[in-house]
A and B are shown apart, each in its own frame.
Chain A
Amino acid sequence: MGGLVYYSSASGNTARFVEKLGLPALRIPIAEDAPMPEPSGPYVLISPTYADGEGRGAVARQVIRFLNDPDRRALLRGVIAGGNRNFGKTYGRAGDVISAKCHVPVLYRFELAGTETDISRVRAGLETFWGMTCSTMA
């Protein structure tokens, strides 16, 4: 099974989602001068959304900085987006932006820190996904 990388701001919603998943995951730091994690194999990125009403600024700056590195970007296989349906059409927009920029699928969307249902769907989904990704690559 591949890895997980995530970003969570000081509000901690995405961190709580990842904690409930209970899978090993690397965290992109909040501080701009802290070292970036260096994934050693393929990974799925979990990113919250910060879009304004027009969808601008959806992806956190630190996530963009992480993905600007071509080596790290090359290992990205899919994105899971956090968000809030109350933001209407921009719900989980970070997933769409990362998907379009990096040509990887949006695997799932969840609200805030996710629900029990989200957690079991993502656990099962990741297992299936990595199974398929590995067999495609073999």
Chain B
Amino acid sequence: MKDHAVSKTVLKAINWNRLQDDKDLEVWNRLTANFWLPEKVPLSNDVPSWATLRPEEQTLTIRVFTGLTLLDTVQNNVGAPSLMPDSITPHEEAVLSNIAFMEAVHARSYSSIFSTLCGMKEVDEAFRWSEENPHLQAKAQIVLDKYRATEHPLKKKVASVFLESFLFYSGFYLPMYWSSRAKLTNTADLIRLIIRDEAVHGYYIGYKYQRGLETLSEAQRQEMKDFAFSLIFDLYEIETKYTEELYDGIGLTEDVKAFLHYNANKALQNLGYEALFPPQACEVNPAILAALSPDSENHDFFSGSGSSYVIGKAVATEDEDWDF
């Protein structure tokens, strides 16, 4: 009988006690500690609030959420898995599998919101809208093109960071806006969990991108940077059209655009690059910033009146490493 061994490749089991990159374990621990499911958020408390939205505001909200669902679907099915073959360490591959799964949880969450708040007919219409909207389709398509296996591994990472840290934000704006007006506050709690996950994803993939750059020549690094800035510019052009189409009706387009600029700069920072948009273009409505990080300590010595010192209030300081 013939030997079954077709290939002599040794299959390697992942050993988490031998790390090549400490960041892998750090991020794995953050992601797993932050694990959540939509069932933990009491979305049904938003039913009365949903009823106070005008019909066009409800339609806008459902459309925004189907748009976000599409991006999460792309990232779950194609984006994160396409990065796995490029992993430098086995632990990176494991982290990416966590990222892929959480994108599925995010995509699933929007359907939980829909089933709690909306009728099937409106939701079906919004999904149809998401398939027919040229700007939404274009941005998903551009990113998908970069995920092709033939692309340079670092270009896939650039596209992935832009999806995680930039493309979601025209959508995330709306639940933060409702929350700042005390509407759909439980839905906003759920979206904040998604935003928190996407922040870790963008940070980690951006970090791996920077590690990858270190192996390139100066000329190749410059080419990669040109690619990144050109891609964010293309995506930004589509985002502005998408934003206008969604938000012109309720007069929020300019406010959303400031939020887009602010997030585009943060996406570039995740890749280790400088800002593209100047500070004046990034003055996000303070109510939106406050909705992003509610209850965080926002007063500090340099930006306050300077009249009093601010000493931290009760926070978890019992970390075992402190020895005083």
Contact = CB atoms under 8 A, between A and B. Distances in A.
Interface of A: 9-13, 16, 50, 52-59, 61, 64-65, 67-68, 70, 73, 78, 84-93, 95-101, 103-109, 111-113, 115-117, 121-122, 124-125, 128-129
Interface stretch (B87-95, B112-120, B241-249, B300-308): B300-308
A98 B300 CA distance: 14
Interface residues of B, number: 56
B314 A100 contact: yes
Q: Which of B26, B193, B196, B312 has the most CB of A within 10 A?
A: B312
Nearest to B272: A12
A105 B304 CA distance: 12
B26 A86 contact: no
A11 B322 contact: no
B296 A91 contact: yes
Contacts of B36: 53
Given A9-B23, A64-B321, A70-B324, A54 B316 contact: yes
Interface in B1-52: 21-23, 26, 29-30, 33-34, 36
B50 to A, nearest CB: 23
B196 A97 contact: no
B303 A87 contact: no
Interface stretch (B66-74, B149-157, B218-226, B286-294): B286-294
Contacts of A115: 265, 275, 279, 282
A17 B239 CA distance: 28
12 contacts: A11-B206, A52-B33, A88-B192, A88-B296, A89-B295, A89-B296, A95-B300, A97-B312, A106-B310, A107-B302, A108-B301, A115-B265
Contact of B319 (A64, A70, A103, A108): A64
Contacts of A78: 301
Given A56-B33, A86-B196, A99 B302 contact: no
B121 interface: no
Given A16-B272, A87-B196, A89-B294, A97 B324 contact: no
A115 B196 CA distance: 21
A52 B30 contact: yes
B269 A113 contact: yes
A11 B210 contact: yes
B198 interface: yes
A9 to B, nearest CB: 7
B188 to A, nearest CB: 10
B215 interface: no
Nearest to A113: B269
Contact of A116 (B21, B275, B310): B275
A89 B270 CA distance: 21
Contacts of B60: none
Contacts of A11: 23, 203, 206-207, 210
Given A11-B203, A52-B34, A125-B301, A88 B315 contact: no
Contacts of B313: 96, 100
Contacts of A129: 301-302
Contact of A100 (B266, B301, B311): B311
Contact of B322 (A68, A96, A107): A68
Contacts of B84: none
B317 interface: yes
Given A57-B319, A67-B324, A92-B296, 15 more contacts: A16-B269, A53-B193, A64-B322, A68-B324, A88-B192, A91-B293, A93-B296, A95-B300, A97-B319, A100-B312, A105-B311, A107-B301, A111-B266, A115-B279, A122-B302
B221 to A, nearest CB: 15
A107 to B, nearest CB: 4
Given A13-B269, A108-B301, A117-B279, A88 B210 contact: no
Contacts of A86: 195-196, 198-199, 292-293
B219 to A, nearest CB: 22
Contacts of B275: 115-116
Contacts of A85: 289, 292-293, 296
Contact of B210 (A12, A101, A122): A12
